[in-house]
Amino acid sequence: MARRAAAWEQGGDEYDYLFKVVLIGDSGVGKSNLLSRFTKNTFSLDSKSTIGVEFATRTTQVEGKTIKAQIWDTAGQERYRAITSAYYRGAVGALLVYDVTKATTFENVKRWLKELRDHADANIVIMLIGNKTDLKHLRSVAAEDAAGFAEREGLFFIETSALEATNVDKAFQTVLAEIYRIVSKKALSSSEDSGAGVVGEGQSIQVSAGDPNGGVSSRCCSF
């Protein structure tokens, strides 16, 4: 159940909502650098490939509310799905990243969507991200194609450059704002007709401001 509670305070860090978000997509599309750009405003040309999962947070404002994004960055290689897919559960947002200079990473987006639909909540907010727009001369996926695909699949879409810090904040902010919109709407509807909790319950977006662990039930993976 989503509900608004008093600001949670923990070690001087206050927020109204805690949203769990996952970063997925093929290996080498720039997931880790998108994360470090968003959470630390850093970019590293010689970063290591991600083994398993990485984790970072950032607190930001959406419509006057303080939102804490808890972001799980996953290894992109197929072999790691068994480990990483456990992290989809309980996520309320997903950033599905491809590389605009590598057509295969865009073709694989369909498979990633299937992964999400198999393992994640049905109402997860998904943002399709075409990264590495700074490599203009190497582009092999047209923005229009991706935008068309996103529209058909009901995804948000944006192109970013983690290196130039283009649209990175916007990408995350859009996802967080949409999650917030759904959550607050749900809170509203459930308060309007308290009897029909079925709708609210069926929508399993798990956000809780009172308990920082409430929104990340998938932390306890079933290994």
Partner 1 sequence: MDKKKEVNDIEPGPDSSRSVDRFGFIKTEQSNSQEGVLKSRSTHERGREERRIRKWRKMIGAGGSDWKQYCRRNPHVVKRRIRKGIPDCLRGLVWQLISGSRDLLLMNPGVYETLVIYETSTSELEIIRDISRTFPSHVFFQQRHGPGQRSLYNVLKAYSVYDRDVGYVQGMGFIAGLLLLYMSEEDAFWLIVALLKGAVHAPMEGLYQPGLPLVQQYLFQFERLVREHMPKLGEHFIEEMINPSMYASQWFITVFSYSFPFPMTLRVWDVFLYEGIKVVFQVGLALLRFCHDDLVKLPFEELLHSLRNFPEDATDPDKLLPIAFSFKVLSHLEELEKEYRKRLEGPNASSSSKRLQPLKSKSMRRVGSQVLSNSNVGMATAFKAFVNSPVGPKTTHFWGPVANWGFVLAGLVDLNKPPEMISGNMTAAMCVYSGLFMRFAWMVQPRNYLLLACHASNETVQLYHLSRCAKAQGYLDKKVPEAQQ
Binding site for partner 1 (CB under 8 A): 10-11, 27-28, 40, 42, 44-55, 57, 70, 75, 77, 79-80, 82-83, 86, 212-213, 216-217, 219-223
User: Minimum distance from CB of 204 to partner 1 (Å)?
Assistant: 17
Comparison of 6 and 45: residue with beta carbon closer to partner 1: 45
Comparison of 34 and 75: residue with beta carbon closer to partner 1: 75
Comparison of 72 and 156: residue with beta carbon closer to partner 1: 72
User: Minimum distance from CB of 65 to partner 1 (Å)?
Assistant: 20
Q: DSSP states of the chain as a string?
A: --B--SPEEETTEEESEEEEEEEEESTTSSHHHHHHHHHH----TTPPPP-SEEEEEEEEEETTEEEEEEEEEE--SGGGHHHHGGGTTT-SEEEEEEETT-HHHHHTHHHHHHHHHHHS-TT-EEEEEEE-TT-GGG--S-HHHHHHHHHHHT-EEEE-BTTTTBSHHHHHHHHHHHHHHHHHHHHHHHHHSTT-HHHHHHS----BSS-TTTT-GGGS---
User: Minimum distance from CB of 203 to partner 1 (Å)?
Assistant: 22
User: Minimum distance from CB of 113 to partner 1 (Å)?
Assistant: 19
Comparison of 42 and 191: residue with beta carbon closer to partner 1: 42
Tell me the C-alpha to C-alpha distance, in Å, between residue 179 and each of 21, 67, 86, 134.
Answer: 10, 10, 21, 29
User: Minimum distance from CB of 143 to partner 1 (Å)?
Assistant: 23
Comparison of 57 and 66: residue with beta carbon closer to partner 1: 57
User: Minimum distance from CB of 46 to partner 1 (Å)?
Assistant: 3
C-beta neighbour count of 112 within 10 angstroms? 21
Comparison of 176 and 182: residue with beta carbon closer to partner 1: 176
